[in-house]
Amino acid sequence: MPGSPGFPIEAVAAGWRLPGIANLHSHAFQRAMAGLAERQTHPADSFWTWRETMYRMATRFDPESLHAVASQLYVEMLEAGYTTVCEFHYLHHAPDGTPYATRTAMSDALIAAARDAGIRLTLLPVLYMTGGFDGRALGERQKRFGHGVDGYLRLFNALHAKQDDMLKVGCALHSLRAVPADAMREVLAALPADARIHIHIAEQVGEVQDCLAVRDLRPVEWLLRNAPVDARWTLVHATHLNDPEVAGIAKSGATVAICPTTEANLGDGLFRLRDHLDAGGAWGIGSDSHISVSPVEELRWLEYGQRLATRHRNIAVSAASPSVGATLLEGVLASAAQSTGFSDIDDAVVLDGDAPLLAGATAEDVADRWIFSGNRPAVREVRVGGRRVVADGLHPEREAVAQRYAAVVRDRLLG
């Protein structure tokens, strides 16, 4: 045990064996726009201007191109040590909002990509109904995201019927601004009792201000008062919280999905990690917009953001676990089952014992050395459900997948 009673690391012949890591928040299509929103478009560039670039990219996808991009992304995730991904999926229809002949076509593309790569998938079809807290209609570029309650439940039920030992289907409520209160209650009442529920919330200061103006409560405050938030729920980002909201999330048992590289890239702000840990809150990580596909980088920058904010070191620790790396890995392991819906799984990552950054590593320091020793890959092998999907650091289909991805991006998404 590496200084944390809740996180197992085992010495094996090839190096160090640890549990697979769950990626709690993904928008697969956004991998294709990584690096394409880094030019100033407005002196006050923010999430809201970045969103315009994202909308333009979203209009170019069809099932075939989504499959190619998601396949590339999921191979990258496996090679980095992620073994499960929660896909927060809202590209449901054709760009003009017309449903595909097969209404599950875009979701099916993601399911196929996950199966091809060998990663566990928690598919979270998104309910997206309005363009703001004021109930405005969806804009032209949002129409492909939209559903009414009945149409959404038909989609959910069709996908839920496809579940198996590598696929779980849950519900994603896009955000409070995109789902009216009555619709939220109707959908929640119709879900299976064990369905996982994810929602974007309190990511932006503007979102908090708009919620206060329309509903007279902050977003997390409103949700905790008006929805049956419990351990089935994952609150994505939850960046801007006050003290009662921190305490309320922890008391509810919900998981917070923190996405440090995306939150930094978008200028969102920093999650109140130390306060959340002190309250006993559950949390995990996600790569969200995929400007990075690395659990090491997410965990490192989760800790580094806290250090920059407090001007202290070694923030994510406890009396029982003085190791930052082990404490972080324990956190993502502890929340994985309740956020993804997968439990009692046999997924493992083997770190390369011959990697220079792990030379002379011990059970007490290997977690810290993996997370804080730089960016050279140290994953040697990954197994999902006992099946080896990465060997010697490489996925067996990586070249074919990369070629298909490059052709789609070059010729169809950017051409």
Looking at the DSSP assignment, which residues form a beta bridge with residue 26?
Answer: 87, 288
Q: How far is CA 283 from the centre of its chain?
A: 11
Query: What are the residues whose beta carbons fall under 8 Å from the beta carbon of 353, sequence distance 6 or more?
Result: 14, 15, 16, 361, 380
Query: What are the residues whose beta carbons fall under 8 Å from the beta carbon of 37, sequence distance 6 or more?
Result: 50, 53, 54
What is the predicted pLDDT for the residue at 298? 98
What is the predicted pLDDT for the residue at 5? 54
What is the predicted pLDDT for the residue at 3? 39
What is the predicted pLDDT for the residue at 184? 98
What is the predicted pLDDT for the residue at 415? 79
User: Which residues participate in catalysis according to the annotation?
Assistant: 237, 288
Backbone angles phi, psi at 49, to 5 degrees: -80, -35
Cα distance between residue 110 and residue 124, in whole Å: 11
Cα distance between residue 21 and residue 340, in whole Å: 11
What is the predicted pLDDT for the residue at 191? 98
Contact assessment for residue 127 and residue 171, using Cβ atoms and an 8 Å cutoff:
yes
What is the predicted pLDDT for the residue at 180? 98
In this structure, what token pair is assigned to residue 71? 């396949």
Instruction: Domain ranges for the chain, please list them.
Output: 10-413
Backbone angles phi, psi at 226, to 5 degrees: -120, 0
Torsion, Cα 91 96 101 104, to 10 degrees, reads 10
Cα distance between residue 163 and residue 59, in whole Å: 28
Does the pTM exceed 0.95? yes
> Which residue numbers in the chain have pLDDT < 70?
1-6
Cα distance between residue 145 and residue 137, in whole Å: 12
Architecture of domain 10-413: Alpha-Beta Barrel (3.20)
What is the predicted pLDDT for the residue at 15? 96
* Cα atoms in the Cβ-side hemisphere of radius 13 Å centred on 304: 11
